[in-house]
Amino acid sequence: DIQLTQSPSFLSASVGDRVTITCRASQGISSYLAWYQQKPGKAPKLLIYAASTLQSGVPSRFSGSGSGTEFTLTISSLQPEDFATYYCQQLNSYPLALTFGGGTKVEIK
Amino acid sequence: EVQLVESGGGLVQPGGSLRLSCAASGFTFSSYDMHWVRQATGKGLEWVSAIGTAGDTYYPGSVKGRFTISRENAKNSLYLQMNSLRAGDTAVYYCARGLRSSFWYFDLWGRGTLVTVSS
């Protein structure tokens, strides 16, 4: 099974900071990677899919990059509403398996 | 309004069964692949099952043989039949819609329903 490892698992940052979260896959997954944001008590929200495609309605301060085994989510200027937990997610096509990383919690410094 | 609403969660004893439902509205349900994803309290996300528009189904090893996903397009509804439940199945269960162009990404989520497996 393909494993996803996110780093860091916890991040403390200030409003206006540039934030980067990394997701590493144990095997190459091409660009089959998504990023989600989850706030406490809420369902996750899709931010980025296919490694770098911004989901409709998501602010442009969010961006994704990478392919193969290493991927990044970048928030160019952290806003108060961005404090949340972020998860990466990948597709393994055969057999079909959809797995998530362990999450990165972004908190206010 | 485009939304998914889960129901059917509750307290069940180990070895017991439970059936979750998800009511879809505001979009053409039959045109989308659908999923169940769960999250134990304070833990990460785990994909539980998927069903395609043609009724093809997929499961991870952790629930295969115990859980069954199904859909009823005439009722805009998704279901998850869970049998032989274990303490490790305790979680909030989310219904999620697959992205139209790439069904393995989840672009719409419900609020979730809590399943607690305990004696």
Flag whether pLDDT at A26 surpasses 90: yes
Q: Are A89 and B45 inside 8 Å of each other by CB?
A: yes
Shortest distance, CA B14 to any CA of chain A (angstroms)? 26
State the Cα–Cα distance between residues A104 and B99, nearest whole angstrom: 23
For residue B117, the model assigns a pLDDT of: 98
Q: Which residue has the tokens 């919690």?
A: A105
- The one-digit pLDDT tens for each residue of chain B (119 residues) are 999 999 999 999 999 999 999 999 999 999 999 999 999 999 999 999 999 999 999 999 999 999 999 999 999 999 999 999 999 999 999 999 999 888 899 999 999 999 999 99
| Interface check B45 vs A, CB under 8 A | yes
- B/e letters for B2-38, b = 16+ CB within 10 Å, e = fewer, are eebebebbeebeeeeebebbbbbeebebeebbbbbbb
For residue A92, the model assigns a pLDDT of: 82
CA atoms within 13 A of residue A9's CA, in its CB half-sphere: 6
B47, B111, B112 ranked by CB distance to A98: nearest: B47
| pLDDT 10s digits, A36-81 | 999 999 999 999 999 999 999 999 999 999 999 999 999 999 999 9
pLDDT band for position A1 (cuts 50, 70, 90): confident
Shortest distance, CA A103 to any CA of chain B (angstroms)? 7
| pLDDT 10s digits, A69-94 | 999 999 999 999 999 999 999 988 77
For residue B108, the model assigns a pLDDT of: 98
Query: What tokens does B27 get?
Result: 């979009």
Mean pLDDT calculated for residue range A2-17: 96
Residue type at position A13? A
B50, B107, B110 ranked by CB distance to A46: nearest: B107
A43, A87, A91 ranked by CB distance to B110: nearest: A43
Interface test with B, best of A30, A92, A96, A104 (most B CBs within 10 A): A96
Which of A63, A1, A85, A91 minimizes the C-alpha distance to B33? A91
| Interface check B44 vs A, CB under 8 A | yes
